[in-house]
Amino acid sequence: MPLAQAQASAGEVARPPVRIRTLLVVALAITVVVWGVPRARAAWQLQLSARTLADYGLCMVGPTGPSLLRDNPDQFRRLVRRRLVAAAADERPFYDCADQARELTDSVRVEHAHLTDAWDFVEYGGAAADGATGAAGTGLRVRDLTVTTRRLAELTEQAWPFVRGGYTRLVRPSRSASEAVHAIEPAVPALGRGLPVWRARYRAVRRLGKGHVLAVGSTANLSVLQSVDRGLTWRPAPSQRTFAQDFAGRCPAKQDRAYTFGLSDDDRRTTVTSLGPDAHAYTVGLAPAELTVFAAACDERALVVALRRDDSKDVTFKLCPFRGRCRNLPVPNFAGVNAAPRYPLDVARVDGTTVLAVSMHGVVRVTSSRDDGVTWTPYAVAFDRAEHPTLHEDAATPDHLLAIGSRLLLYAGATQPNQPYPVLVSDNGGASWRTP
């Protein structure tokens, strides 16, 4: 064999089977795959989760939900609470959002909270609130609905460098996302003065010049107050005591009609007497004397009375037509939960409409009937203390009703002289409430 061929054959045998550059390329490729694929997968998952989060926000509180959940979670929770409190008792306002909540939190408890009736939340003010004691009490709360952006933040870190600049721009709802109706912001109460917080059988109002005179109570417990701003502020008016004697100690109505309470001859029953200029007094039995009349309101057609035992919050309602026999007044239970309204509450009559305001742990709901209890409007929130954090802690909840002509006041009353209290007004028989 020639020398040149022998040298070439020796060189071919000494050459390695795989070049080092090839090994480096393969190692780099493996490193890229091992390092990059999970990050690419995290980037893809981030896109999906950001969209789910936006859809969830839209489902929970409406159009502002995605941006609030992303940028202002405190305001988001406030709107969630507002929607919860405004729902019917047996409604599941967040039912459609449960799957998204489970996907975002991987929590069965959070999912369950979204599937629960509004009545079962402490903030609703029902049975759950009755059994709750402080922050550690039992019962579901709005905080159990909490969904955060923590998962998105984690995915953003894992997805670098495929995702830069954070996840905020990715939080956009899908076109097919369901959208909740934006909860209406409740009216802001004004501050009133002068009305007492204590309850009385008789609260009689008469117009005097450009103002109104109010007679609260009767005989030795009679208080006479006067207002010149349609009931927002009141001041003692001893000079009007003689004027008030004409309508104090009774429930007066138009056409010079009035109703008074009394006792039967054997003191065993409370009675109602219809008084009018066109006929003699007409007295009928109302209820056993052990039931206390704590609220009453009337117009020329009928008297509405709320009664209870001193040791119970259960309430009995009566309707006494003018010169007619008293009968039970059916009032609506809270939808689907078979729970009747309980004390504290108040009633009013405005132009034939019976209005009922029920206070439930800081939430006041109002319903009304234009046909003496045959039908009632759904309970609607008129006041929610949580919506007004600037109210003084000592301010009572506005759960008293007072009719001044066609205007209806929802007020709290004062426990001390010159103490302010929240007041709302309605000019449509309790259908809606506004700032005076």
138 pairs with which residues across the strands? none
pTM for this model (two decimals)? 0.87
Q: Is the C-alpha dihedral spanning 274, 275, 276, 279 positive or negative?
A: positive
Say if residues 141 and 122 touch (Cβ distance below 8 Å): yes
In 3D space, the residue among 310, 305, 408, 309 whose CA is nearest the CA of residue 364 turns out to be 408
| Beta-carbon count within 10 A of 12 CB | 7
Residue 132 predicted with pLDDT over 80:
no
Among candidate residues 328, 353, 330, the one with its CA nearest the CA of residue 340: 330
Residue 293 token pair: 């009349």
Q: Can you tell me the distance from the alpha carbon of 269 to that of 315, in angstroms, rounded to the nearest whole number?
A: 17
d(CA 171, CA 40): 18
Q: Which residue has the tokens 């004062």?
A: 414
Cα(154)–Cα(42) distance, integer angstroms: 9
Per cent of the chain over pLDDT 90 is 69
Amino acid occupying residue 187: A
Is pLDDT of 370 > 90?
Answer: yes
Closest C-alpha to 354, from 301, 417, 311: 301
Q: Tell whether the model's pLDDT for residue 106 goes beyond 60.
A: yes
Sign of CA dihedral 249, 247, 275, 402: negative
Predicted local distance difference test score (pLDDT) of residue 385 = 93
Rounded Cα–Cα distance for residues 86 and 109 (Å): 23
Rounded CA-CA distance 175/362 in Å is 39
Helix count and strand count (H, E) for the chain: 9, 20
The length of the chain, given as a count of residues: 436
Q: Residues 6, 11, 14, 16: is their CA dihedral positive or negative?
A: negative
In the chain, the percentage of residues whose pLDDT exceeds 70 is 90
Mark out the alpha helices in 284-424 (DSSP H runs): none
Tokens of 60: 């929970």
Q: Are 230 and 407 in contact (CB under 8 A)?
A: yes
> Around Cβ 415, how many Cβ atoms within 10 Å?
13
Cβ count near 72 (within 10 Å): 13
Asked whether residue 9 carries a pLDDT value surpassing 60, the answer given is no
| Phi, psi angle pair for 266, to nearest 5° | -95, 10
Question: Per-residue DSSP letters for 254-268?
Answer: STT-EEEEEE-TTSS
Contact between residue 425 and residue 408 where contact means Cβ atoms under 8 Å apart: yes
CA atoms within 13 A on the CB side of 85: 30
Q: H helices of 106-231, where? A: 108-114, 127-130, 150-158
Question: What's the pLDDT score for residue 37?
Answer: 72
pLDDT tens by residue, 230-268 = 999 999 999 999 999 889 999 999 889 999 999 999 999
Sequence-ordered list of residues with C-beta below 8 angstroms from that of 72, at least 6 positions apart, any chain: none
| Domains in the chain: ranges and CATH | 26-161 (no CATH), 190-426 (2.120.10)
Q: Are 260 and 275 in contact (CB under 8 A)?
A: yes
Determine phi and psi for 326, rounding to 5 degrees: -75, 145
Q: How far apart are CA 429 and CA 410, in angstroms?
A: 11
What pLDDT was estimated at residue 332? 94
Tokens encoding 88 = 């019917």
Residue 371 has a pLDDT of 96
Residue 275: per-residue pLDDT? 95
Q: What is the pLDDT of residues 30-89, one digit of tens each?
A: 665 555 677 778 788 888 998 999 999 999 999 999 999 999 999 999 999 999 999 999
Are the beta carbons of 315 and 293 closer than 8 angstroms? no
Q: Given the DSSP bridges, would you call strands 203-208 and 190-192 parallel, antiparallel or unpaired? A: unpaired
Question: 273-305: per-residue pLDDT in tens?
Answer: 999 988 789 999 999 999 999 999 999 999 999
Average pLDDT, rounded, for the chain: 89
Rounded-to-integer distance, Cα 147 and Cα 110, Å: 8
Query: Is 307:316 a contact under the CB 8 Å cutoff?
Result: yes
